[in-house]
Structure 1
């Protein structure tokens, strides 16, 4: 997973500082996400997936298909 979030950031010419601001964390924390020294919260993982328009399974290295799944139409409880 950590390799993929770094590759996506670099492929989009973004800085760690930019992504850290997007996730409301400091740059050092984001850097640790990319090296695997710090676990990414589910909320941050979802935000990253939405930002790059990829699935969380892609970020988690469970698939090589980037396309996100269709949004659920189930009513929220």
Structure 2
């Protein structure tokens, strides 16, 4: 599974929330190479990592994965 779409969604959320990717990753305790790994190395993130990012943005994991256009949880 390729996760370029997940990287794009994370970047868009950072832009919309006016937070840098570095700030997001630092705040969540995630390594700085995550976006590069998603885009270029076809890294598959763990469910735990996706949950951390989803919690940070108050959105669903399905939204981060591009499985829904609705970022809201349980709607």
TM bucket, shorter chain: 0.7 to 0.9
**Distance of 2:24 and 2:40 partners within structure 1:** 16
Q: Give the 3 Å change call, closer, same or farther, for CA 53–25 of structure 1 in structure 2.
A: closer
State the SS of the aligned residue for 2:55.
helix
**Distance of 2:20 and 2:74 partners within structure 1:** 27
| Structure having the higher Rg | 1
What is aligned with 2:34? 30
**Distance of 1:5 and 1:33 partners within structure 2:** 13
Structure 2: runs of 5+ lacking an equivalent: 1-5
What is aligned with 2:59? 54
Report the Cα offset of residue 45 of structure 1: 0.4
Q: Please say if residues 2 and 36 of structure 1, whose CA atoms lie closer than 8 Å, have aligned partners that are also in contact.
A: no
**TM-score (normalizing by structure 1):** 0.71
Report the Cα offset of residue 11 of structure 1: 1.3
Structure 1: runs of 5+ lacking an equivalent: 71-77
Moved >4 Å (runs of 4+): none
Q: Give the 3 Å change call, closer, same or farther, for CA 19–62 of structure 1 in structure 2.
A: same
